[in-house]
Amino acid sequence: MGAIVGIGVDVVDVKRMKVVLDARGTSLIRKLFTESEVAYCASKKNSHEHFAARFAAKEAVSKAMQTGWSGKFRWRDVEVINIPSGAPKVILHDSVAEQLTKCRVHISLSHTENTVVAFAVIEKNE
């Protein structure tokens, strides 16, 4: 079993996310989310709830990385997918994947109509 090297949590107001997405549209969506995340969220009735969940997950991972906004974290380098059971899973890309070599990221998401909570744990594989 590996050692925990970071934890992070984030809470997002779903209605605020909807307002931001409505105001900034596709340019913001392209900046924050991968193509598969956009396709998944867009396929849902209340897509803003799912975008909020993925945003919160990315924020939680960034906090667990403990890098701050030093330029080492890029939004699209953290991708949230759902495995067949429906559970969320994080896939790392590019810079973030390099930084977290030999690490595993665990994620948990929960949301209501109004609020999303994401919790991330980074475990170093030994």
Single pTM value for the model = 0.93
* DSSP conformation letters of 50-111: HHHHHHHHHHHHHHHHT-TTSS---GGGEEEEE-TTS-EEEEE-HHHHHHTTTEEEEEEEEE
| CATH number of the domain encompassing residue 113 | 3.90.470.20
Task: State which residues form the domain around 51.
Answer: 3-124
List the structure tokens of 99: 């930084």
Note the pLDDT of residue 70. 66
Note the pLDDT of residue 126. 73
| Host H or E run for residue 7 | strand 3-13
List the structure tokens of 19: 């307002």
Q: Across the beta sheet with 115-124, what order do the strands follow?
A: 3-13, 115-124, 103-111
Q: How would you write the pLDDT of the chain (126 residues) with one tens digit per residue?
A: 679 999 999 999 999 999 999 999 899 999 999 999 999 999 999 999 999 999 999 999 999 998 766 667 889 999 999 999 999 999 999 999 999 999 999 999 998 989 999 999 999 987
How many domains is the chain built from? 1
User: 88-92 and 78-82: which strand pairing?
Assistant: antiparallel
